[in-house]
A and B are shown apart, each in its own frame.
Chain A
Amino acid sequence: MDFILSHVEHGVMTLTLNRPDRLNSFNDVMHQQLAECLKQAERDETIRCLLITGAGRGFCAGQDLNDRNVDPNGPAPDLGMSVERFYNPLVRRLAALPKPVICAVNGVAAGAGATLALGCDIVIAARSANFVMAFSKLGLVPDCGGTWLLPRVAGRARAMGLALLGEKLSAEQAHAWGMIWQVVDDAALVDTAQQLAVHLAAQPTFGLGLIKQAINASETNTLNAQLDLERDYQRIAGRSADYREGVSAFLNKRALHFTGK
Chain B
Amino acid sequence: MSELIQTRHGRVLQLTLNRPAARNALNNALLGQLAEALEAAAVDNTISVCVITGDARFFAAGADLNEMAEKDLPATLNDVRLQLWARINIFSKPLIAAVNGYALGAGCELVLLCDVVIAGESARFGLPEITLGIMPGAGGTQRLIRCVGKSLASKMVLTGESITARQALAAGLVSDIHPDALTLEYALQQAAQMARHSPLALQAAKQALRQSQEVPLQAGLAQERQLFTLLAGTEDRREGIAAFLQKRSPEFKGR
Residues of A that sit less than 8 Å from B by CB: 229, 232-233, 235-236
B residues 159-190 in Cβ contact with A at 8 Å: 178-179, 181-182
**A-B pairs with beta carbons under 8 A, tally:** 9
Q: Which residues of the partner chain B approach A236 to less than 8 Å between Cβ atoms? A: 179, 181-182
What is the interface of chain A mostly: helix, strand, loop, or mixed?
Answer: helix
Near A by CB (< 8 A), chain B positions 64-103 give none
State the CA gap A233–B181 with chains docked (Å).
Answer: 9
Chain A residues in 8 Å Cβ range of B179 = 229, 232-233, 236
B8 → chain A, closest Cβ, in Å? 23
**What's the tally of chain B residues with a CB closer than 8 Å to chain A?**
4
Interchain CA distance A236-B178 in the complex, whole Å: 11
Expressed in whole angstroms, the Cα–Cα distance for A235 and B178 within the complex equals 12
> Shortest distance in angstroms between A181's beta carbon and chain B's nearest beta carbon?
27
State the Cβ distance, A93 to closest chain B Cβ, in Å. 15
Distance between Cα atoms of A123 and B88 in the complex (Å): 55
Interchain Cβ contacts under 8 Å between A and B, 9 examples: A229-B179, A232-B178, A232-B179, A232-B182, A233-B179, A235-B182, A236-B179, A236-B181, A236-B182
Report chain A residues within 8 Å CB of B181.
236
Please give the distance in Å from A138's CB to the nearest CB on chain B. 33
Of all chain A residues, which has the CB nearest B185? A235
Q: How far is the CA of A138 from the CA of B179 in the complex (A)?
A: 42
Give bound CA distance, A229 to B176, whole Å.
Answer: 12
- Whole-angstrom distance between the Cβ of B57 and the nearest chain A Cβ: 14
- Cα–Cα, bound, A236→B179 (Å): 9
Q: Other CB < 8 Å A-B pairs besides A232-B179, A236-B179, A236-B182, 6 of them?
A: A229-B179, A232-B178, A232-B182, A233-B179, A235-B182, A236-B181
Measured CA separation A232–B186 after assembly (Å)? 10
- Bound complex: CA of A233 vs CA of B179, how far in Å? 8
Q: Which residues of A contact B182 (CB under 8 A)?
A: 232, 235-236
Return A238 CB to nearest CB of chain B, in Å: 11
Chain B residues near A235 (CB-CB < 8 A): 182
Which of chain A's residues has its CB closest to B176's CB? A228
The 0/1 profile, CB within 8 Å of A marked 1, for residues 148-168 of chain B is: 000000000000000000000
A236 to B181, CA, bound (A): 7
Closest to B178 in A: A232
Q: Which residues of B contact A232 (CB under 8 A)?
A: 178-179, 182
Compute how far the CA of A242 lies from the CA of B182 in the bound complex, rounded to whole angstroms: 19
Q: Give the Cβ gap from A209 to chain B, nearest Cβ, in Å.
A: 11
A240 to chain B, nearest CB (A): 10
Q: Which residues of B contact A233 (CB under 8 A)?
A: 179
B186 to chain A, nearest CB (A): 8
Instruction: Name the CB-closest residue of B to A210.
Output: B179
> B51 → chain A, closest Cβ, in Å?
19
Q: What is the distance, in angstroms, from B176's C-beta to the closest C-beta of chain A?
A: 10
